[in-house]
Amino acid sequence: MAVGGHVGASPRQQHSSTTIARSATTHAFPYYTSIYAAVLGLLAPFLTANVIVNRVRAKVDLGDGGVAALGQAIRAHANFAEHTPLALLLIGLVEAFGYPALAVNGLGIVLLLARLSSAWGLNSTLKQSFGRQSGASLTVLVTAVSGGADHLCPAVAALEVSRSKLAAYASIGFAGIVVFGWIVEATVKWARPPNSPA
């Protein structure tokens, strides 16, 4: 009986299943994720300082006092705090599970661009804007893809699915997320009253 494979399985199949099983149980230090966390960690105090500066200017200790600039700064900081930690955690798990560095860096770069875009958009206006919409959409996409990958790796190890099938399933899942996003966006636009702001 072959170790790490099924009885009667070819050496290639045994090697594939064993490699996938090891990738799900051998956790690597999230080196790349730590870099993106450090960069985003520099953005966090900037957003905090922005709130403080606007509070001092507006002389408002609690809430936004109806001051637009302060309200924008508060929302930009809160939005960062709400979404960034979870997305980074999920990307870190993707790296720990042994996914390729290209996938980890792709998710990290998209998240970094998303948070910069969101911070810029929310500090410019609280209305719908390119920065706000693109930042939110990309952050949700990264979170969804990372979370799906984190669930998929242990399942693949248990089912001993080949890497070619894994790539196919991942492609189908990513396409499904994109299509779902388009459907949601189209539904929201269709349901919005004609005179409401875009």
Each residue's pLDDT tens digit, 128-137: 778 788 888 8
* 4-33: pLDDT as tens digits: 444 454 555 444 444 444 444 455 678 899
Banded pLDDT at 164 (limits 50, 70, 90)? low
Cα distances (angstroms) measured from residue 195 to each of 37, 54, 76, 119: 41, 33, 27, 28
Percent of the chain surpassing pLDDT 70: 61
pTM of this structure: 0.63
Give the pLDDT score at 54.
84
d(CA 5, CA 50): 57
Please list, residue by residue across 127-156, b when 16 or more beta carbons sit within 10 angstroms of its beta carbon and e when fewer do: eebebbebbbbbbebbbbbbbbbbebbeeb
The model's pLDDT over 72-83, given as tens digits with 9 standing for 90+, comes to 888 889 889 989
CA distances from 133 to 115, 120, 136 (A): 11, 11, 5
Q: 151 by DSSP, 3-state: which?
A: helix
DSSP secondary structure, 110-141, as one string: HHHHHHHHHHHHHHH-SS--HHHHHHHHHHHH
> How many C-beta atoms surround the C-beta of residue 88 within 10 A?
24
Architecture of domain 18-159: Up-down Bundle (1.20)
- Give yes or no for residue 180 having a pLDDT over 50: yes
Averaged pLDDT score across all residues of the chain = 74
> What are the residue ranges spanned by the domains of the chain?
18-159
1 pLDDT more than 70: no
Confidence of residue 39 (pLDDT cuts 50, 70, 90): very high
Contacts of 157 by beta carbon, 8 Å cutoff, 6+ apart: 20, 21, 23, 24, 25
What local confidence, expressed as pLDDT, does residue 171 receive?
62
Average the pLDDT over 93-113 and give the result. Answer: 88
Report yes or no: 197 and 127 within 8 Å, Cβ to Cβ: yes
